[in-house]
Amino acid sequence: MATLPNPLPKLATDPSGRSLGLQLPPGRLIDATLCGPWHEPLLWHAGQPAGPGTWTALGAQAGRAGLLPVLVDVSELDEWDLAPGETTYPGDHDAEDVLEDAWEEDPPEGEEWPGPAPATALVADPDVRAAEVADALSQGRPWLKEPHLALVPARRSADIPAAIGWSGPVNHEEDVARLCAVLRSWEDRFGIRVVALGLDHLAVSVAAPPTDVDTAEAIAAEHFAFCPYTVLPGTDDTLSSYAEQLVGERFWHFWWD
């Protein structure tokens, strides 16, 4: 996968990050993958739990150093099967093709792929919204038990899962870069940022949420193709009932079985 130069190796000899213009708390570099140690660190995460203000305090300065913030659940981090060597580049994939392919594998009620949802208007700055959502998630969720701030060398927030070879969706999509292509499209159309990763969970902030049910239903179709387990977890669930939950929603949460 094509990536920017990785500044993380400098933290091995300079844990504070001063040479990168950072002031980092004690933390840990991660290079463990499914196939053994990677040739360079894939991410750094703080040793202390994230709290309100952590994202803003470290995220902006890290961005200038070529690192992007994301919350990671350290309670299960040692169980992650990272596979960067098996991950392609998100820019090599077309988001609509990825969604249409996934939809057609198991369309709900046999419906045809409706096509991509229209872009919606920003109601917040995407990076400000990301910080707000990260602050809320730093309080923890059942699916995000021990959130710590991590820094990842990535070109854009949507590329973070591919940059580390995250395998959370492996039972749905073996190459997470294809899903990152969708996340790139959502960045452009809905102002999303990847804010949290667990073993098989992903959360994104949304700065341009749908304001009406019709648009929300179009987005719900994309969510189903992206992660059907989240959209229709039970036999009584429908795309319409899921779509109602998306109107005005500040973050989207996905999980894969």
pLDDT single digits (tens) 100-156: 999 999 898 889 999 999 999 999 999 999 999 999 999 989 999 999 999 999 999
What's the average model confidence in pLDDT over 50-71?
93
pLDDT band at 2 (very low <50, low <70, confident <90, very high): very low
Residue with token string 């709900």: 108
Rg for the chain (alpha carbons), in Å?
18
Q: Give the predicted TM-score (pTM) of the model.
A: 0.96
For residue 235, pLDDT over 70 is answered with no
What local confidence, expressed as pLDDT, does residue 106 receive? 87
At residue 29 the predicted structure's pLDDT band, cuts being 50, 70 and 90, is: very high
Average pLDDT, the chain: 95
**CA dist., res. 129 & res. 190, Å (int):** 12
Cβ(143)–Cβ(196) below 8 Å: no
| Residue partners of 214: CB distance under 8 A and separation at least 6 | none
Q: What is the pLDDT of residue 33?
A: 97
Nearest to 155 by CA among 85, 84, 67, 80: 67
Residue 246: pLDDT above 80?
Answer: yes
Check pLDDT > 60 for residue 221. yes
Q: Is the pLDDT of residue 1 over 60?
A: no
The residue behind tokens 């400000």 is 128
Give the model's pLDDT for residue 53: 96
